[in-house]
A and B are shown apart, each in its own frame.
Chain A
Amino acid sequence: MSIEVTNVTKKYGDFYALDDVSVSLPTGQLTALLGPSGGGKSTLLRIIAGLDTADSGSVAIEGTNATKLPPQKRNVGFVFQHYAVFKHMTVAKNVAFGLEIRKTPKAEVKRRVGELLELVHLSQFADRLPSQLSGGQRQRMALARALAVEPTVLLLDEPFGALDAKVRKELREWLRRLHDEVHVTTVFVTHDQEEAMEVADEIVVINQGRVEQVGSPDQLYDEPASDFVMGFLGEVTRLGPVRLRPHDVDVVVEPGRSGSFPGTVTRMLRVGFEVRLQVELDPEFSRGDEPVSVVLSRGHARALDIELGSKVWLSAAVGAVTVPAMVAV
């Protein structure tokens, strides 16, 4: 295990940013810390980097206890949301910074900087100042700067958060490819579940200072450990005693299977190949709950001949992922 976080707690006044968090992050993988804003994921990343200190608990990096080490000695690369460029230095100087601190011979620095700029596709911008680069380019420069010192782990704090949607999507694909080339253990923080699912080998879901679940993107989606994880990773709806994904609701137009819930279609919306329904359950089943959301394929909806006001019976599909619905969500 490359990073071992054990029983880490961090409080700001009365507020628990992290509450007895333990997590192991494997070597060579790309791990996402996923969770809502203010959930503690950035705090955890900063504690791993040594930029914040934990109130209690320990952090080990590649087997070395790093709990008391200052950031300078941890050999981690850190990338910030707002790039944190050294704005008075050229792109090449920025990347060279860590190497110069380590008193690397000049020729070696030059060679390494050349390689890294090549890697992040910024070779032709070597002599520019960061202010002459776009946001995406600045972040790639920051990444090259962090990689220059050959860190044991690379930590990225919402690295694409300040970029517009299109660049964000490009950069996340690029990060995945880069990781496949460089293979440095990488941890990145995000609140965007799509970003985490698309890029990461493993996802750690953090909410309210606690780890909710650790697993591969498929595991998290298919076997969510809690209501929160299920809700955070995709749409959910409630059908009687369970919560499940809208596309996992089976729809029939006559009473058949036992345990199915009768209701009436109150809204119908076609979006591309999908048909989204809102079904108001009959009063004896709904108990004042929200209407149930259902997603069908267009063909399926046509075959069932569903329209606004149709009477339908709903049940959880066979093999559907469900979690018990909590009262008063």
Chain B
Amino acid sequence: MLVPLTAIVATSAGRGWSGYIDTLTNPQTMAAIQLTVGQAALVTGLNVVMGTLIAWVLVRDRFWGKRILDVVIDIPFALPTIVAGLVLLGLYGNGSPIGLDWAYTERAVMLALAFVTLPFIVRTVQPVLEELDHDVEEAAASLGAKRLTIFRRIILPSLVPAITAGAALAFARAIAEYGSLVLLSGNKPFSTEVVSVRVLSFIENGSTESAAAVASLMLAVALVVIVLLDIVQRRVSRRG
């Protein structure tokens, strides 16, 4: 695993320190990085809330069609990403059947990322929630804790490791996403061009060093986020 990572870093050093800085401070590259990291963070945040909520509903509630919903959650995993992109373009693109023309906007990027990352948190939280001991909630209730307090102090700390693991996966997927958003976002420089598209165009122009430079930065971002999430996880599950 470390070999290809080291290779990336080595390649990115090919044009020296100033070349490295030049590539990254290029306004178009900066815009792409900002968009990708920003949208990925936003989508991860959205997923933390929505994913946990969906997992909760799937485990705790009884309603008609629950089984079907349980299967539907996995579709973004199963669908080839370019197909997902096509589906989204059909729904939100030009001549949208629901009257939402979001193609070629920042919203399109978020939509595509949200679509492909939805299952991560649902699928990591769901089994933990299923295993949760009901006695524990009853114990807290008989000690006087209201439902919200039980959720915050008893249930949430048990879920946090699963939520952060899911969030890390979702974030990693989001900053790397390509297939599902190329069609819908239109890849307009400074507006809807994400890092993966930028890297591809560097390579197409024969500038492997620049591609590697951007890639190594994304590597660093991914590392920082994983470490941050781990710290958050430790904090929250300790506090109780």
* Interface residues in chain A, defined as those with a beta carbon under 8 Å from any beta carbon in chain B: 49-51, 70-72, 74, 76-78, 80, 82, 84-89, 93, 97-98, 101-102, 142, 145-146, 148-149
Contacts and interface: CB of A to CB of B under 8 A. Distances in A.
Interface in B163-177: none
B142 A101 contact: no
B240 A51 contact: no
A86 B136 contact: yes
A84 B135 contact: yes
Interface of B: 133, 135-136, 138-146, 149, 153-154, 157-158, 237-238, 240
A97 B150 CA distance: 11
B145 A86 contact: no
A146 B135 CA distance: 13
Contacts of B157: 88
A135 to B, nearest CB: 15
A88 B237 contact: yes
Contact of B240 (A72, A82, A88, A145): A88
Given A88-B158, A89-B240, A82 B140 contact: no
A51 B237 CA distance: 27
Which residue of A72, A78, A85, A146 has the most chain B CB atoms within 10 A of its CB atom? A72
B164 to A, nearest CB: 14
A82 B135 contact: yes
A88 B140 CA distance: 13
A98 B135 contact: no
B143 A74 contact: no
A51 B142 contact: yes
A72 B136 contact: no
A108 B17 CA distance: 61
Nearest to B145: A101
Contacts of A97: 140, 143, 145, 153
A49 B143 CA distance: 11
20 contacts: A49-B142, A50-B142, A51-B141, A72-B144, A72-B146, A76-B142, A77-B143, A84-B135, A84-B139, A88-B240, A89-B240, A93-B240, A97-B145, A97-B153, A98-B143, A101-B144, A102-B144, A145-B143, A146-B142, A148-B143
B141 A71 contact: yes
Given A86-B154, A86-B240, A88-B240, A149 B143 contact: yes
A86 B140 contact: yes
List of 3 A-B pairs having minimum Cβ-Cβ separation, nearest first: A98-B143, A84-B135, A84-B139
A26 B144 CA distance: 24
Nearest to A102: B144
Nearest to B144: A101
B197 to A, nearest CB: 43
A78 B139 contact: yes
Contact of A80 (B138, B153, B158, B237): B138
Given A51-B141, A88-B237, A97-B143, 9 more contacts: A49-B142, A74-B142, A84-B135, A84-B136, A84-B139, A85-B136, A88-B238, A101-B145, A101-B149
A147 to B, nearest CB: 11
Nearest to A77: B142
A145 B139 CA distance: 9
Contacts of B238: 88
Given A85-B136, A101-B149, A78 B240 contact: no
Given A82-B133, A86-B240, A88-B238, A71 B149 contact: no
Contacts of B138: 51, 71, 78, 80, 84
B41 to A, nearest CB: 27
Nearest to B137: A84
Contacts of A85: 136
